[in-house]
Amino acid sequence: MSITNPYKILGIPVGSSIEEVKKVYKSIALKSHPDKLNNISDVNERNIKIKEFVEATNAYNKILKGDVEDYSFIDEDFIVTGKQIGRAHV
């Protein structure tokens, strides 16, 4: 199971202020909200934007609810399996 860092998804440092989280989320939502994608005819591109919106929304909600762990020690190449932490195999 991989670790999903909501801060990484939003592209902000761990521990960013709520104001910064809201600002970045709003920026992502304005670009990728399904209601804003009417001008994109490529289905694949639309799906990528919708996925980006869903991931950003989930990350945003997780941070606002305080449902985040300490991600400051986790490198993006690491995964957690059981009690072991090791490099992800790509």
Cβ-proximal residues to 24 (8 Å cutoff; 6+ apart), any chain:
10, 11, 12, 16
pLDDT band at 62 (very low <50, low <70, confident <90, very high): very high
The model scores a pTM over 0.95: no
Integer distance in angstroms from the first to the last C-alpha of the chain?
14
pLDDT for res 14:
86
The residue with tokens 């490529």 is 42
Q: Cα(8)–Cα(59) distance, rounded to whole angstroms?
A: 9
pLDDT band at 56 (very low <50, low <70, confident <90, very high): very high
Facing residues of 57 across strands?
none
pLDDT for res 70:
55
Q: Cα(4)–Cα(76) distance, rounded to whole angstroms?
A: 9
